[in-house]
Structure 1
Amino acid sequence: MTAAGAARTADLLDAARRRLIDAPRERLGELQEGRRFFGIPRAPRIVERGRAWHLGVLLLTDDSILATGEIVRSHAEVRRGFAAESQRRRAELAAAAHRGGVPEGETVHIGWHPLDPTGTATGGAVLALRGDEPAVRWSAQGGYVPLARYLDERIDLLRNPPERA
């Protein structure tokens, strides 16, 4: 890794923050297992841990860059049968978000994790340096694309979402 590559990444992220200053942000949350209250277990809830701009596989905050995890839309708990265990899990997370104070219908990101903006991570890293050029891996099977181009496309989508999106 070179100092020039790390500086280029920092410059791209700072420029993206300036372009997004008035764009909507989404909640970052953390799942907290329910504590006992007088011996009775309480249901888990998702508590807010900040806000970020959602840019595909990246979550950009005022001072860091994160990899997305799961995305949940808050809903009040409803008892019903589920055809799949994954549906049950998503409904439980949606109810946990609602219990944590996320307004009904709003999105919250959980399971996110910080990324190394210097691009020194190896393996299946989301951010990396290809030479001195910062790059992002937008899918597990996909290759890396230049970070500048990726940010331009995702910021444009955030500012000008497709109709009915």
Structure 2
Amino acid sequence: MIDHFHSPSYEVTPLTMAVVPQQDENGNTSTCVLEEQEEFFIHFSPSKIIDHACKFFGSSLRGRQDGTRGICGITHKAPISIDPTSGMYFFPTTSPNNPKCSWIAHSHINQVNQGPGRQTEIIFKNHKSILLDVSFGSMLNQVQRTAQYRYLLDNRIKYLQRHNVDVAAEPFA
């Protein structure tokens, strides 16, 4: 049974582009979820929403982070696959424990630009953009690490799919 008081009712989908923290005038953190066609607010932190999404697909944020470490050795600000079959690869902009941490969907990024000061602008494929308080170099590094992780995990999945086809095609002796 899902506990709706302690978990968001929103589900991250392949249409989710970013999960970004927002602070209200009282300093309470909620989250702005950016999707291809809409955006809305949820009263949970971005990392809590990502953890909930991982649980929906049978794991947890910690489990996905451990998986990333096992595949490519990334331990800090690790990109994760919420669901590799749907292409849902996300990366955190800072430590996921930081309340200012945003999560960005790798497949929706069109361009990453140097913003004013130490900010970075992300332009998505649907031409929406966001400005984040993360350095340009750090953001580029996260995009590249996610691409590498995605490549390695996709190759493992393809290998297993090919191998299973071969096994299934063998007649029983």
TM-score (norm 2): 0.22
The structure richer in helix per residue is 2
Indicate the structure whose relative CO is greater, using CA pairs within 8 Å and at least 6 residues apart: 1
Task: State the TM-score, normalized to the length of structure 1.
Answer: 0.23
Name the larger-Rg structure.
1
